[in-house]
Structure 1
Amino acid sequence: MNEADALDLFQAAIWTVLVSAGPAVGAAMIVGLIIALFQALTQVQEATLTFVPKIVAVLVTIGISAPFVGSQISIFTNLVFSRIQSGF
């Protein structure tokens, strides 16, 4: 295995992590912004108000995007196994 192969696998791994975590993180950010706007408009500064909607949004998003995330991880796994099989 040379540097180019290692860099290629590392780049694929980072990309897979970003794409897999993206939907959940994006949903948490959107819900967090909406809650922050609501808190700023109503001046309700309750710290626990942000946790439950974010958790629900993240769980729903994970449930919806699970096939996509699974396929991305499967593609990466197949890439790694094909590199192992070909001897790098």
Structure 2
Amino acid sequence: MTPDMAVQVWRDAMWLIVLLVTVIVTPSLVVGLIISTFQAATQINEQTLSFLPRLLTTLIMIIITGPWLLRRILEHFEQLVTSIPVLLG
């Protein structure tokens, strides 16, 4: 395995992680921003008010995008396993 191959495998893995986390976390951040704006407008300073909607948003996104996320992880794993002879030889 050359250093270029190792860097490419590492880059692909990191890109996959960033993609998966972005799909799950971005909607939660948007919901948190909306709730924070509402709290600022109404002057409600309750920390736990934004927790449940963000948690529910995260769980819903995992349920909705779960099959796609799993497919992407399995495709990456399959690519790694099939490229073992190329990486070693």
Q: TM-score, normalised by structure 1?
A: 0.93
- Percent identical across equivalent pairs? 30
The answer as to whether partners of 1:31 and 1:54 remain within 8 angstroms in 2 is yes
Q: CA deviation at 1:87?
A: 4.1
Partner of 2:62: 62
How far did 1:59 drift?
Answer: 0.1
Please list every run of 5 or more consecutive structure 1 residues that lacks an aligned counterpart in the other structure. none
For 2:21, give the aligned amino acid: A
RMSD: 0.9
The 3-state SS of whatever aligns with 2:55 is helix
Indicate the residue corresponding to 1:15 in structure 2.
15
8 A Cα contact 1:19 1:69, kept in partner: no
* More displaced stretch, 52-61 vs 66-75: 66-75
Q: How far apart, in 1, do the equivalents of 2:55 and 2:72 lie?
A: 23
- Structure 2: gaps of 5 or more residues: none
1:12-68 C-alpha deviation (Å, 9 max, x unpaired)? 100110111112110111111011111011110101111111000000010000111
Aligned residues: 87
For 1:8 and 1:87, the matched residues in 2 are separated by 13
TM-score (norm 2): 0.92
Deviant stretches of 4+, over 3 Å:
none
